[in-house]
């Protein structure tokens, strides 16, 4: 779509988990950055990006930074409108932070 110049009002990014080990985390970060950058390139100015990660080894702060970095690479500005996390029927344990695996953001992309 990008190469054809097609743009959308809303893009939803809900990929499978990109990493299963800490050794793969850097590659996963690059992957999330790349797909979010590409998503931003096909959004109309003012469009909404809904983006998610189900990689338990990536915390919400890192995921938000990746999205912000993707915006820089896409030459776009991003406003974080809402934050999402897994529902109460997926409880987490403080002894196992990777159990907090689902995170997401609704972003306005300018």
Buried b (16+ CB within 10 A) or exposed e, 24-38: ebeebbebbbebbbb
- Pair of tokens at residue 42: 């096909």
- Pair of tokens at residue 31: 């992957």
Residue 29 backbone phi and psi in degrees, to 5:
-60, -45
For the annotated catalytic residues, the residue numbers are 54
- Pair of tokens at residue 69: 């970095």
């Amino acid at each position: 779509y990008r190469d054809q110049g097609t743009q959308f009002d809303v893009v939803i990014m809900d990929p499978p988990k990109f990493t299963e080990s800490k050794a793969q985390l850097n590659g996963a970060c690059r992957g999330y950055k790349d797909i979010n950058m590409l998503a931003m390139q096909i959004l109309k100015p003012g469009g909404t990006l809904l983006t998610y990660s189900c990689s338990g080894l990536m915390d919400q702060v890192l995921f938000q930074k990746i999205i912000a970095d993707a915006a820089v690479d896409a030459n776009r500005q991003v406003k974080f409108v809402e934050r999402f996390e897994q529902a109460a029927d997926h409880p987490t344990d403080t002894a196992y932070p990777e159990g907090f695996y689902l995170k997401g953001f609704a972003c306005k992309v300018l």
